[in-house]
Chain A
Amino acid sequence: MHPLLLRVQHTFSVGVTNMSEWRGDVAVTVTRDKLREVALFLRDDPGMDFDYIVHVSSVDWPDDEERFEVVWEFYSIRKRHRIRLKTRVPESDCVVDSLTDLWKGADFMEREVYDMMGIRFRNHPDLRRILMPDDYTEGYPLRKDFPLRGKGWRDTFEFLDEVQR
């Protein structure tokens, strides 16, 4: 097992639901309530020292009980290693703790996840849509049940039709 994973396993007896290493990528899945604690450990522990946030992403698994997966990717500038931190949230209560106060860059990245997947971040300073318009009401475009062509909002735009043009 990867030394980073060993260390996480050693520190957290409960809360870590899955650990994997695939193609050289190290990933840890934690329960939602332990997320902040693990994130703090990743940032502040001298053996971990993950000071750099790479990106925040999200995955939709419509058939699972806990539908959404939020993915943070961290890098350590000093130690030169990477880790992926994941957590799952159910659709009925899709809220996770924001990590904006730990990594400033998480602000925009989490806003994008909210905009695209509809996952809300607790204690986020400014949780608004970022890429879609503010008055967009069709839902969250990257969810799997969102059709590729949209839900008809664009059809209400007034364009000239082919004949008139």
Chain B
Amino acid sequence: MAFEDQRTTVYKVDPEHPESETLPTLRTEELLLNMGPQHPSTHGVLKVILELEGERLVKSTPVMGFLHRGVEKLAEEGTYHQFIPHTDRLDYVCAMYNNFAYCRAVEKLLNLQVPERAEYLRTIVAEVQRIIGHQFWLSAQALDIGAMTVFFYCFRDREILLDWFDELCGARLTTSWYRIGGVERDLTPSLIDKLKQFLDYFPPKIDEYQVFLEKNRIWLGRTKGVAVISAEDAVSFGLSGPVLRGSGVDYDLRKYEPYSAYPKCEFSVPVGKNGDTYDRYWIRMMELYESVKIIRQCLEQMQEGPIMADAPSITLPPKERVFTNLEAMIQQFKLFSQGFDAPPGEIYCGTEAHKGELGFHIVSTGGGKPYRLKIRAPSFIHMGAFDHMARGYMISDACTIFGTYDIVMGECDR
């Protein structure tokens, strides 16, 4: 010590009596800490009860359901068309993907073929949505870990795409643009121009995001080797999307159960090695480049054609005709109020959303309403592995894990 303070009590340890009374005794016990439901990095309203030993997580118990709205119950009361706006509110950050997954499931139930141009449009918009989702994820994850700058850069570019959505369908977030049998409206030349401009503008920006993080020692320290999950465990827990691929499992429905225009596009599926937060980050960054590639190919390959399947008993008439033609208006009214006659049966249809496999399990007994509709929400299933992945890490790593799952509670609680 450089100085001597008279006020400091000096404890001397008697070697013969180490438990002597002058020593302050340290009492240790496990600490229970409620994290959430109003914690800023829980991405919504999620509570986790953390059992701590010092700052180490011994056990964590997620408490969910704060945002439970009974979407599956509501689905049983409405027609198939009426459920599309409800799907927007599942993962409200990426509404297009929910619309897409739901419409695909209903089309599988009806055995309905979607015209080729509509498939391309669907793929383009889905990939734009994937870019938005990953930008949102990156900004939120970096913010949780303490890197604030990249947040502004991501949101600057995300704004361009949200405005693009606004021009496409009139809404930035709750889009409801997909329809059973096709899409609501076509891309205008102005939209295509804007998208092409964005595709030229965006790839250098991805490099820019990476510059902020990949040489940042704090970022590396808080992501490398944090929340590691082995491939075997990740599969057993049913994880999907980048969280599963980060552990080295090559599972992407776009590749292995191809749908829409994906089989006609060339793209690769990045797969990680270590199963840590950094690998999951790397995968998402690589997916941004792949999304740009897919959109480029779709724009090149896309031909003129109808955007809605030719099945008047199922698909909605175009809006222009509804406003000017009485029959079309009656048809739209009947389709919304009574619905179409779906065949009795049971299907499951999974779609690779940017978070993971978003699936719909629909049981139909005929008639216009689903008898039972179950949503396989990746956020919910990822939360099941939270305790396993958090065990032994520091309390601040809990925020990293919320971020790396990319959870959105609207989808998790349904």
Give me the interface of A with B, judged by CB distance under 8 Å: 22-23, 25, 27, 51-55, 57-60, 71, 73, 77, 80, 82, 84, 103-105, 107-109, 112, 116, 129-133, 141-142, 146, 148
Contact = CB atoms under 8 A, between A and B. Distances in A.
B64 interface: yes
Interface string B247-260: 00101000011000
Contacts of B109: 23
B73 A71 contact: no
B363 interface: yes
Contacts of A105: 236-239, 381, 384-385
Interface stretch (B277-285, B372-380, B395-403): B372-380
Contacts of B348: 25, 54-55, 73, 82, 84
Given A57-B361, A105-B385, A116 B72 contact: yes
B237 A141 contact: no
B380 A108 contact: yes
Indicate the member of B235, B257, B357, B376 with the most A CB atoms within 10 Å.
B235
A58 B345 CA distance: 15
Interface string B215-243: 00000000000000000010111110000
A82 to B, nearest CB: 8
B108 A23 contact: yes
B104 to A, nearest CB: 12
Contacts of A116: 72
Q: Which one of A57, A58, A129, A141 has the highest number of Cβ atoms from chain B below 10 Å of its Cβ?
A: A57
A105 B249 CA distance: 16
Given A22-B347, A73-B361, A141-B73, A104 B68 contact: no
A77 B251 contact: yes
Given A54-B359, A142-B72, A104 B376 contact: no
13 contacts: A22-B345, A23-B108, A53-B236, A54-B376, A55-B374, A71-B361, A77-B251, A103-B238, A109-B384, A129-B65, A130-B65, A132-B65, A142-B72
A77 B363 CA distance: 25
A118 to B, nearest CB: 14
Given A104-B233, A107-B384, A141-B73, A59 B65 contact: no
A77 B374 CA distance: 22
B346 to A, nearest CB: 7
Contacts of B111: 23
B372 A59 contact: yes
A23 B105 CA distance: 11
B345 to A, nearest CB: 5
Of B108, B233, B374, most A-chain CB atoms within 10 Å: B374
A80 B347 contact: no
A139 to B, nearest CB: 13
B350 interface: yes
A108 B384 contact: yes
Contacts of A142: 72-73, 372
A106 B182 CA distance: 35
B73 A54 contact: no
A1 to B, nearest CB: 18
Contacts of A141: 70, 73
Contacts of A52: 235-236, 238, 251
A25 to B, nearest CB: 6
B136 interface: no
